[in-house]
DNA sequence: CAACGAAATGTGACGTTTTG
DNA sequence: CAAAACGTCACATTTCGTTG
Protein backbone atom coordinates (compact mmCIF):
# COMPACT_ATOMS: atom_id res chain seq x y z
CA UNK A 1 0.00 0.00 0.00
CA UNK A 2 1.78 3.05 -1.26
CA UNK A 3 0.85 6.69 -1.20
CA UNK A 4 -0.64 7.65 -4.57
CA UNK A 5 1.11 11.00 -4.45
CA UNK A 6 4.71 10.39 -3.45
CA UNK A 7 4.80 6.64 -4.02
CA UNK A 8 7.14 6.05 -1.09
CA UNK A 9 6.97 2.58 0.46
CA UNK A 10 6.45 2.04 4.16
CA UNK A 11 10.07 1.82 4.98
CA UNK A 12 11.99 3.51 7.73
CA UNK A 13 14.83 5.16 5.92
CA UNK A 14 15.27 8.20 8.08
CA UNK A 15 14.24 10.29 5.15
CA UNK A 16 12.21 13.28 6.03
CA UNK A 17 9.08 12.87 4.00
CA UNK A 18 7.43 16.00 2.77
CA UNK A 19 4.60 14.55 0.75
CA UNK A 20 1.74 16.98 0.25
CA UNK A 21 -0.87 14.30 0.80
CA UNK A 22 -2.01 14.83 4.41
CA UNK A 23 -2.76 11.14 4.89
CA UNK A 24 0.32 9.84 3.08
CA UNK A 25 1.08 6.44 4.67
CA UNK A 26 4.81 6.86 4.39
CA UNK A 27 4.62 10.18 6.14
CA UNK A 28 2.33 8.90 8.84
CA UNK A 29 4.66 6.00 9.42
CA UNK A 30 7.73 8.22 9.64
CA UNK A 31 5.97 10.44 12.12
CA UNK A 32 5.29 7.41 14.29
CA UNK A 33 8.91 6.30 14.04
CA UNK A 34 10.18 9.66 15.06
CA UNK A 35 7.79 9.94 17.96
CA UNK A 36 9.01 6.79 19.68
CA UNK A 37 12.67 7.39 18.86
CA UNK A 38 15.32 8.69 21.17
CA UNK A 39 14.84 12.19 19.80
CA UNK A 40 11.13 11.97 20.42
CA UNK A 41 9.38 10.46 23.42
CA UNK A 42 12.00 7.75 23.71
CA UNK A 43 9.59 4.87 24.16
CA UNK A 44 11.72 1.82 24.74
CA UNK A 45 11.11 -1.44 22.88
CA UNK A 46 8.96 0.29 20.30
CA UNK A 47 10.74 0.90 17.02
CA UNK A 48 10.24 1.02 13.26
CA UNK A 49 9.50 -2.67 12.77
CA UNK A 50 6.86 -2.96 15.44
CA UNK A 51 5.26 0.25 14.27
CA UNK A 52 5.13 -0.97 10.71
CA UNK A 53 3.20 -4.08 11.69
CA UNK A 54 0.82 -2.17 13.89
CA UNK A 55 0.29 0.42 11.21
CA UNK A 56 -0.36 -2.17 8.52
CA UNK A 57 -2.79 -3.97 10.80
CA UNK A 58 -4.52 -0.63 11.28
CA UNK A 59 -3.99 -0.82 15.01
CA UNK A 60 -2.43 2.61 14.94
CA UNK A 61 -2.52 5.54 12.57
CA UNK A 62 -1.30 8.51 14.54
CA UNK A 63 0.96 9.00 17.53
CA UNK A 64 -2.10 9.35 19.72
CA UNK A 65 -3.08 5.74 18.99
CA UNK A 66 0.10 4.48 20.61
CA UNK A 67 -1.37 5.37 23.97
CA UNK A 68 -4.49 3.35 23.27
CA UNK A 69 -2.72 0.08 22.43
CA UNK A 70 -3.93 -2.98 24.29
CA UNK A 71 -2.18 -6.14 25.32
CA UNK A 72 -4.09 -8.05 22.66
CA UNK A 73 -3.10 -5.62 19.93
CA UNK A 74 0.52 -6.31 20.71
CA UNK A 75 0.25 -10.06 21.19
CA UNK A 76 -1.20 -10.39 17.72
CA UNK A 77 2.05 -9.20 16.27
CA UNK A 78 4.46 -11.88 15.11
CA UNK A 79 7.42 -12.66 17.33
CA UNK A 80 5.79 -11.06 20.30
CA UNK A 81 5.95 -12.80 23.66
CA UNK A 82 4.60 -12.00 27.09
CA UNK A 83 7.87 -10.63 28.37
CA UNK A 84 8.34 -8.05 25.73
CA UNK A 85 4.68 -7.03 25.72
CA UNK A 86 4.92 -6.27 29.43
CA UNK A 87 7.94 -4.13 28.81
CA UNK A 88 6.32 -2.29 25.96
CA UNK A 89 3.18 -1.45 27.91
CA UNK A 90 5.31 -0.44 30.84
CA UNK A 91 7.43 1.76 28.68
CA UNK A 92 4.43 3.50 27.14
CA UNK A 93 2.96 4.09 30.57
CA UNK A 94 6.15 5.67 31.76
CA UNK A 95 5.84 8.22 29.01
CA UNK A 96 2.33 9.31 29.79
CA UNK A 97 3.70 12.10 31.92
CA UNK A 98 5.95 14.39 30.00
CA UNK A 99 7.48 17.83 30.23
CA UNK A 100 6.35 20.48 27.79
CA UNK A 101 9.77 20.70 26.18
CA UNK A 102 10.00 16.97 25.69
CA UNK A 103 6.49 16.83 24.31
CA UNK A 104 7.13 19.71 21.98
CA UNK A 105 10.23 18.02 20.66
CA UNK A 106 8.45 14.73 20.11
CA UNK A 107 5.72 16.30 18.01
CA UNK A 108 8.28 16.63 15.27
CA UNK A 109 7.48 20.21 14.33
CA UNK A 110 9.75 21.38 11.55
CA UNK A 111 12.68 23.47 12.75
CA UNK A 112 12.02 22.58 16.35
CA UNK A 113 14.80 20.41 17.73
CA UNK A 114 15.75 19.58 21.27
CA UNK A 115 17.20 22.95 22.06
CA UNK A 116 14.52 25.19 20.60
CA UNK A 117 11.83 23.05 22.17
CA UNK A 118 13.38 23.71 25.56
CA UNK A 119 13.73 27.42 24.92
CA UNK A 120 10.12 27.75 23.87
CA UNK A 121 8.84 25.59 26.72
CA UNK A 122 10.65 27.69 29.29
CA UNK A 123 9.13 30.83 27.91
CA UNK A 124 5.53 29.86 27.45
CA UNK A 125 5.29 27.41 30.34
CA UNK A 126 2.08 25.70 29.22
CA UNK A 127 0.67 23.99 26.18
CA UNK A 128 -2.47 26.13 26.24
CA UNK A 129 -0.48 29.31 26.21
CA UNK A 130 1.66 28.12 23.35
CA UNK A 131 -1.35 27.44 21.19
CA UNK A 132 -2.54 31.00 21.56
CA UNK A 133 0.63 32.72 20.39
CA UNK A 134 0.81 34.48 17.03
CA UNK A 135 3.92 34.17 14.86
CA UNK A 136 4.91 37.68 15.93
CA UNK A 137 4.63 36.81 19.59
CA UNK A 138 6.61 33.65 19.04
CA UNK A 139 9.41 35.61 17.42
CA UNK A 140 9.87 37.67 20.56
CA UNK A 141 11.29 34.58 22.20
CA UNK A 142 15.08 34.68 21.93
CA UNK A 143 16.50 32.28 19.35
CA UNK A 144 13.13 31.99 17.65
CA UNK A 145 13.09 33.52 14.18
CA UNK A 146 10.55 33.62 11.38
CA UNK A 147 11.11 30.04 10.30
CA UNK A 148 10.55 28.50 13.71
CA UNK A 149 7.68 30.83 14.52
CA UNK A 150 5.86 29.91 11.34
CA UNK A 151 6.35 26.17 11.80
CA UNK A 152 5.08 26.28 15.35
CA UNK A 153 2.15 28.49 14.46
CA UNK A 154 1.16 26.32 11.52
CA UNK A 155 1.32 23.20 13.61
CA UNK A 156 -1.00 24.53 16.25
CA UNK A 157 -3.43 25.85 13.70
CA UNK A 158 -3.79 22.65 11.77
CA UNK A 159 -6.96 20.63 12.28
CA UNK A 160 -5.26 17.24 12.15
CA UNK A 161 -2.57 18.03 14.66
CA UNK A 162 -5.04 19.56 17.08
CA UNK A 163 -7.13 16.42 16.92
CA UNK A 164 -4.09 14.31 17.62
CA UNK A 165 -3.13 16.39 20.62
CA UNK A 166 -6.65 16.21 21.99
CA UNK A 167 -6.70 12.46 21.56
CA UNK A 168 -3.40 12.11 23.36
CA UNK A 169 -4.67 14.11 26.30
CA UNK A 170 -7.81 12.00 26.31
CA UNK A 171 -5.68 8.88 26.38
CA UNK A 172 -4.00 9.92 29.58
CA UNK A 173 -1.03 11.93 28.41
CA UNK A 174 -0.28 14.80 30.74
CA UNK A 175 2.03 17.61 29.76
CA UNK A 176 3.49 19.33 32.77
CA UNK A 177 5.03 22.74 33.07
CA UNK A 178 8.66 23.30 32.57
CA UNK A 179 10.64 23.47 35.78
CA UNK A 180 13.53 25.86 35.61
CA UNK A 181 15.81 25.62 38.56
CA UNK A 182 18.82 27.74 39.28
CA UNK A 183 22.07 25.80 39.30
CA UNK A 184 24.49 26.13 42.18
CA UNK A 185 27.93 27.68 41.73
CA UNK A 186 30.27 25.39 39.81
CA UNK A 187 32.94 25.61 37.11
CA UNK A 188 30.50 24.85 34.31
CA UNK A 189 27.77 27.30 35.17
CA UNK A 190 27.16 29.54 32.18
CA UNK A 191 29.86 27.77 30.17
CA UNK A 192 29.67 26.06 26.82
CA UNK A 193 31.08 22.57 26.69
CA UNK A 194 31.69 20.26 23.75
CA UNK A 195 32.29 16.53 24.06
CA UNK A 196 34.36 14.52 21.67
CA UNK A 197 35.38 10.88 21.67
CA UNK A 198 33.96 8.22 23.97
CA UNK A 199 33.72 8.67 27.71
CA UNK A 200 34.41 5.71 29.96
CA UNK A 201 32.19 6.57 32.87
CA UNK A 202 29.03 7.72 31.13
CA UNK A 203 27.34 8.09 27.80
CA UNK A 204 27.55 11.25 25.78
CA UNK A 205 23.96 12.02 26.57
CA UNK A 206 24.40 11.57 30.29
CA UNK A 207 27.38 13.89 30.16
CA UNK A 208 25.41 16.51 28.28
CA UNK A 209 22.52 16.45 30.71
CA UNK A 210 25.01 16.60 33.58
CA UNK A 211 26.39 19.82 32.12
CA UNK A 212 22.90 21.19 31.71
CA UNK A 213 21.97 20.39 35.27
CA UNK A 214 25.04 22.36 36.29
CA UNK A 215 23.78 25.36 34.36
CA UNK A 216 26.10 24.94 31.40
CA UNK A 217 25.44 24.35 27.77
CA UNK A 218 26.46 21.27 25.83
CA UNK A 219 27.09 22.06 22.21
CA UNK A 220 28.01 19.89 19.28
CA UNK A 221 30.61 21.94 17.50
CA UNK A 222 33.73 23.78 18.64
CA UNK A 223 33.97 27.50 18.08
CA UNK A 224 35.68 30.39 19.76
CA UNK A 225 32.69 30.63 22.07
CA UNK A 226 33.40 27.18 23.42
CA UNK A 227 34.80 27.24 26.96
CA UNK A 228 35.78 23.60 27.36
CA UNK A 229 36.27 20.57 25.17
CA UNK A 230 36.12 17.28 27.00
CA UNK A 231 38.17 14.70 25.15
CA UNK A 232 37.33 11.06 25.69
CA UNK A 233 38.91 8.09 23.97
CA UNK A 234 39.34 8.27 20.23
CA UNK A 235 38.63 11.96 20.13
CA UNK A 236 37.97 13.17 16.63
CA UNK A 237 38.30 16.31 14.60
CA UNK A 238 36.75 18.43 17.29
CA UNK A 239 39.86 18.00 19.44
CA UNK A 240 42.03 19.38 16.64
CA UNK A 241 39.79 22.36 16.28
CA UNK A 242 39.92 22.98 20.00
CA UNK A 243 43.71 23.05 19.90
CA UNK A 244 43.64 25.39 16.94
CA UNK A 245 41.29 27.79 18.69
CA UNK A 246 43.13 27.52 22.00
CA UNK A 247 40.09 26.19 23.81
CA UNK A 248 40.75 24.61 27.16
CA UNK A 249 40.80 20.84 26.85
CA UNK A 250 39.77 18.58 29.69
CA UNK A 251 40.39 14.90 30.15
CA UNK A 252 37.52 12.79 31.33
CA UNK A 253 39.05 12.70 34.81
CA UNK A 254 39.36 16.46 35.00
CA UNK A 255 35.84 16.83 33.77
CA UNK A 256 34.44 14.51 36.43
CA UNK A 257 36.39 16.24 39.14
CA UNK A 258 35.20 19.69 38.13
CA UNK A 259 31.65 18.43 37.87
CA UNK A 260 31.91 17.02 41.36
CA UNK A 261 31.50 13.46 40.23
CA UNK A 262 34.99 12.15 40.75
C1' DC B 1 22.77 41.29 3.22
C1' DA B 2 26.82 38.50 3.79
C1' DA B 3 29.42 36.07 7.21
C1' DC B 4 29.40 33.27 11.17
C1' DG B 5 28.15 30.19 14.85
C1' DA B 6 24.77 27.07 16.55
C1' DA B 7 21.23 23.95 15.79
C1' DA B 8 18.94 20.75 12.86
C1' DT B 9 19.20 17.16 9.68
C1' DG B 10 21.39 13.28 7.26
C1' DT B 11 24.47 9.07 7.14
C1' DG B 12 26.39 4.90 8.48
C1' DA B 13 28.29 1.53 11.50
C1' DC B 14 28.11 -1.35 15.51
C1' DG B 15 26.58 -3.53 20.21
C1' DT B 16 22.92 -5.92 22.87
C1' DT B 17 18.71 -8.39 23.85
C1' DT B 18 14.83 -11.29 22.65
C1' DT B 19 12.22 -14.55 20.08
C1' DG B 20 11.39 -18.80 18.08
C1' DC C 1 21.84 -20.34 18.82
C1' DA C 2 20.79 -17.35 14.70
C1' DA C 3 18.06 -13.87 12.96
C1' DA C 4 15.57 -9.98 14.04
C1' DA C 5 14.90 -5.88 16.28
C1' DC C 6 16.14 -2.22 19.46
C1' DG C 7 19.72 0.89 21.19
C1' DT C 8 24.03 3.80 20.83
C1' DC C 9 27.34 6.59 18.86
C1' DA C 10 30.32 9.76 15.91
C1' DC C 11 30.41 12.94 12.53
C1' DA C 12 29.34 15.37 7.90
C1' DT C 13 26.24 18.48 5.74
C1' DT C 14 22.45 21.73 5.59
C1' DT C 15 19.60 25.25 7.54
C1' DC C 16 18.49 28.89 10.69
C1' DG C 17 19.07 33.20 13.48
C1' DT C 18 21.94 36.91 14.66
C1' DT C 19 25.06 40.51 13.95
C1' DG C 20 28.09 43.93 11.86
Average pLDDT (A221-229) is: 75
Integer distance in angstroms from CA A79 to C1' C2? 14
Q: Is A98-176 the same fold as A19-93?
A: yes
Based on C-alpha coordinates, what's the Rg of chain A? 21
A257: pLDDT strictly greater than 60: yes
A227's CB contacts (< 8 A; 6+ apart) are A191, A192, A193, A247, A248
A15: pLDDT strictly greater than 60: no
The mean-pLDDT minimum among A166-170, A194-198, A204-208 falls in: A204-208
**Residue A109, Ramachandran bin (φ over 0: left; ψ between -120 and 50: alpha; else beta):** beta
* Nucleotide showing the shortest C1' distance to residue A116 CA: B7
Give me the pLDDT at residue A175, please: 87
Phi and psi angles of residue A132, each rounded to the nearest 5 degrees, phi first: -85, -15
Phi and psi angles of residue A102, each rounded to the nearest 5 degrees, phi first: -65, -45
* Per-residue b or e along A61-83, where b marks 16 or more CB atoms closer than 10 Å to that residue's CB: ebbbbbbebeeebbeebeeeeee
Give me the pLDDT at residue A45, please: 72
Integer distance in angstroms from CA A128 to C1' B16? 41
Question: How far is Cα A172 from Cα A19, in angstroms, rounded to an integer?
Answer: 30
Which residues of chain A form beta strands (DSSP E)?
97-99, 174-176, 192-196, 217-219, 228-231, 248-251
Query: Which bases of chain B are under 7 A from a protein CB atom?
Result: 4-11, 18-20
In sequence order, the β-bridge partners of residue A251 are: A231
Strand C, CB < 7 A, residues 185-244 of A: 195-199, 203-205, 220-221, 232, 234-238
Q: Which CATH class for the A192-258 domain?
A: alpha beta
- For domain A19-93, the CATH architecture is Orthogonal Bundle (1.10)
Q: What would the DSSP string read from start to end of A22-89?
A: TT-HHHHHHHHHHHHSTTTT--TT--HHHHHHHHHTTS-SSHHHHTT--HHHHHTSTT--HHHHHHHH
pLDDT in tens, A38-88: 767 777 677 776 777 777 777 888 888 888 887 777 777 755 666 677 777
Chain centre to alpha carbon of residue A16: 15
Q: Which fold has domain A98-176?
A: DNA polymerase; domain 1 (1.10.150)
Q: Where are the domains of chain A?
A: 19-93, 98-176, 192-258
Does residue A136 approach strand C to less than 7 Å at its CB?
A: no
* Nucleotide showing the shortest C1' distance to residue A119 CA: B7
Band of pLDDT at residue A170, cut at 50, 70 and 90: very high
* Nucleotide showing the shortest C1' distance to residue A79 CA: B19
Integer distance in angstroms from CA A194 to C1' B2? 27
Give me the pLDDT at residue A80, please: 63
Residue A92, helix vs strand vs coil? helix
Amino acid sequence: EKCPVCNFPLQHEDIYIRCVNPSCPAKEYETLCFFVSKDGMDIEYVGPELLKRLYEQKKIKTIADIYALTRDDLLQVERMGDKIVDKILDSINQRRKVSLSHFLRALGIRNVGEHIAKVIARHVRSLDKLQELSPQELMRIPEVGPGVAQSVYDFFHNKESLEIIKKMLDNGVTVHEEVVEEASENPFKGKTVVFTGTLKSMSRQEAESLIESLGGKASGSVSKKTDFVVAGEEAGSKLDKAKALNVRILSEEEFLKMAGRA
